[in-house]
Structure 1
Amino acid sequence: MKALLLEDVRKISIKDHPEPTEKDDHVICKVNAVGICGSDLHYYSEGGIGTTCVGKGFVPGHEFSAILLEAIPEMNLEEGEHIAVDPAKPCFECKWCKKGYENLCPYVEFIGAPPFNGAMAQYVSIKKHQIHKIPNHFTPQTVVLLETLGVALHAVDLSKTKFHQEICILGSGPVGLCILKILKNMGTKSIHVVDPIQYRVQHALNNGADKGFGSVDEFIEYNNGSGVDLVFEATNSPHGLNLSIQASNIGGNIIVVGIPDGDGYQFKASEARRRGISIKFSRRMGEVYERTISMVEKGLVSLDDLATHTYSLNDGEQAFLNNLDYKDNVLKSIIFPNT
């Protein structure tokens, strides 16, 4: 089969790759569509995230939809059916899983995170319990974005958002926009979005943000020198946490969702301490996948506007480069490996 391989930092090849083999409780599926996530961009541009390093010939991709090549009667799934896939396979046995922290499982096998190859290939092997049945009308693009929505939903869950709070979202990429969509659906009182890229600010306004700004300084000036009670940090900037602190009120809360370039933040500890700010980091998503499907099925959240660009597998490297350079008003790029 053909696959997209990360060979080195900023070096991609499209090559023949061994097809996945049958394993107990796994099925082989044909990849329909796969999205480029921020973590994929870090793997490509930096060679890893923290201690997770990409080896030569690694296949990325964890946001994907697939087509069953065989029926799964016990799940009421037929051959040829379009499915969604939760990329995480936690152990369910460690003390952290038993405490409900499956997304933090130290033993997780995560499709598309080293050392486990991902879905930027024509076929992939999936454990049955990672498969989710979806409504027939869901497009491949919608299914790809369910994982993005799940990351946003988990962050909102962690925040314990109150509808009367004033909120600021730093970063208007796919995750930040999904957070915005969820908060709007909750009836949240006031939501501001900050992003230095103008087309992304406009996209947030189109999705119901009350105000959009190009910088935190602009937001603070508009807000009469005051911050807000809750900030979602959804950028890739090493300055994102410091900017979130600046945007916070005394006693405020920050939920950190973004992954910073270089795996580090620079911030003034004294400012956070003197304001008594609480900072919580959010990783991937909890057990929320079925909720994301339900939200989209009921029309509570629409994801179609986030899928802005599509590519063939052969054009995969151009897709990565366009995302890194924010070309052509890109939000989410989706690769179709079998076209």
Structure 2
Amino acid sequence: MSGVTGSVPDSMRACVLHQPRDLRLEERAAPRPERGEVVVRVRSVGVCGSDVHYYEHGRIGDFVVRQPLVLGHEASGDIVATGPGVPADRIGERVAIEPGFPCRSCDQCRHGRYNLCPDIAFFGTPPVDGALCDYVRVPADFAHPIPDALSYDAAGLLEPLSVGIWANRKAGTVPGGSVLIAGAGPIGLVTAQIARAMGATEVVVTDIGAERLGVAAELGATGTVLAGAESTGTGFDAFVDCSGAAPAIDAGIRAVRPAGTAVLVGMGADRLTLPLGVLQNREINLTGTFRYANTWPAAIALASSGAIRLDRMVTGHFGLDETESALLAGADPRHIKSVVTLGG
């Protein structure tokens, strides 16, 4: 294509899900950049709970794997080719990939809420292929340059970090505030770190696993509570659920002060029984979240500054041919985040 700069091989490896628990390493044609796009050589891909769910069940809600699908959306790498309209000097840049590409023209996009774009194409979400392959093609402005001090692993984990940033923005976290967080998985851990970075002086994390609570304390939580063991206390400015567990959501809402905020991030059952009397009598603001928008600059700055410790969350590295093991590693309660590494 005229205007394309750089070099991409004809073929590449891709880890392809055909149906539940049927994952195959295949050869595919490597992508070529179109106008306004770049091709990124993938270096690191974090494994998300959604990847595991697609692997095990072949669907998440209305998103169903109906044709072979490449999973993975927490990715970083190097730009190796640019399309027309993209400066050639971007070749060689180390980048983190923001994996959701909106239409840019709908009402939600025009108002800056591009995460709510009805036509967004999101990596690893049917029918859009993801990043568990050697090369991907992305809009140039969604390949965010990262400093040399940031590892490829940490750059890939800017995606879950963005979820934590968005959750805290929705929670209205402020300096001197208090936040209760349910769930000490990767999203809960970054949400807690962001809350501290935003100045919250009380950040309490609950979970059913003592091992993960230990990591939460190491990463800055001011308090941890084993779920069901004791009361978390009351009077929190905000509650952020990162578990999706109905009992945790009920208890968390009851712990919020009048006029506080409850934010639902974790994906659990389609229907919940909520303490409506508490919500009404305390005028608690209840909201959900759907991914994030305009978070990458903040995520890069926070991770680069050392305020957020993303590399500490990585508890297993796997090659592309070991992706199935990476997906299954979460069964170990001591495990937090698997990362698939590519490209040497």
1:238-292: per-residue Cα shift (whole Å, max 9, x none)?
Answer: 54432322333344321111122x5443444445444433211111111111111
Mapped partners of 1:238, 1:58: distance in 2: 31
Q: By percentage of residues, which structure has more helix?
A: 1
Q: Of residues 17, 23, 29 in structure 1, which corresponds to 2:28? A: 17
Q: Does 1:297 align with 2:304?
A: yes
Give the secondary-structure state (helix, strand or coil) at the position aligned to 1:119.
coil
- Which residue number in structure 1 is paired with residue 249 of structure 2? 241
Report the Cα offset of residue 122 of structure 1.
Answer: 1.2
In structure 2, the residue matched to 1:258 is 266
1:155 partner letter? A
Q: Is the contact between residue 71 and residue 78 of structure 1 (CA under 8 Å) also seen in structure 2?
A: yes
- Name the residue aligned to 1:62: 73
CA distance, structure 1, for counterparts of residue 326 and residue 255 of structure 2: 33
What TM-score do the two structures reach when normalised by structure 2? 0.89
Query: Which residue number corresponds to residue 3 of structure 2?
Result: none
Q: Distance in 2 between matches of 1:46 and 1:264?
A: 19
**1:240/1:265 contact within 8 Å kept:** no
Distance 1:293 1:76, change over 3 A: farther
Q: Deviations over 1:209-250 (max 9, x none)?
A: 121111156134xx3xx3523101011435443232233334
Question: Which position in structure 2 is the counterpart of 1:311?
Answer: 318
Amino acid at match of 2:112: G
Structure 1: runs of 5 or more not aligned: none
Q: Distance in 2 between matches of 1:132 and 1:251?
A: 37
What is the CA–CA distance in structure 1 between the aligned matches of 2:39 and 2:229, rounded to whole Å?
51
Give the TM-score normalised by structure 1: 0.90
CA contact (8 A) 1:194 1:219 kept: no
- Corresponding position of 2:102: 90
Seq. identity, %:
28
Task: Tell me which residue corresponds to 2:283.
Answer: 276
Partner of 1:336: 341
Contact 2:39/2:82 (<8 A) preserved: no
Take 2:87 and 2:316, find their aligned partners in 1: how far apart are those partners?
Answer: 33
Do structure 1's residue 326 and structure 2's residue 332 form an aligned pair? Answer: yes
Counterpart in the other structure of 1:232: 240
Alpha-carbon separation, structure 2, partners of 1:263 and 1:36: 23
- Supply the AA of the counterpart residue of 1:187: G
Aligned residues: 332
**C-alpha RMSD of the superposition:** 2.2
Match of 2:169 among 157, 173, 193: 157
Paired residue for 2:180? 168
- What's the CA shift for 1:78? 4.2
Q: Distance in 1 between matches of 2:67 and 2:284?
A: 41
Q: Secondary structure at the match of 1:112?
A: coil
Post-superposition CA distance 1:92-122 (Å, at most 9, x none):
2111111221111111111222211000011
**What is the aligned partner in structure 2 of residue 27 from structure 1?**
38
| In 2: Cα distance, 1:276 partner to 1:232 partner | 17
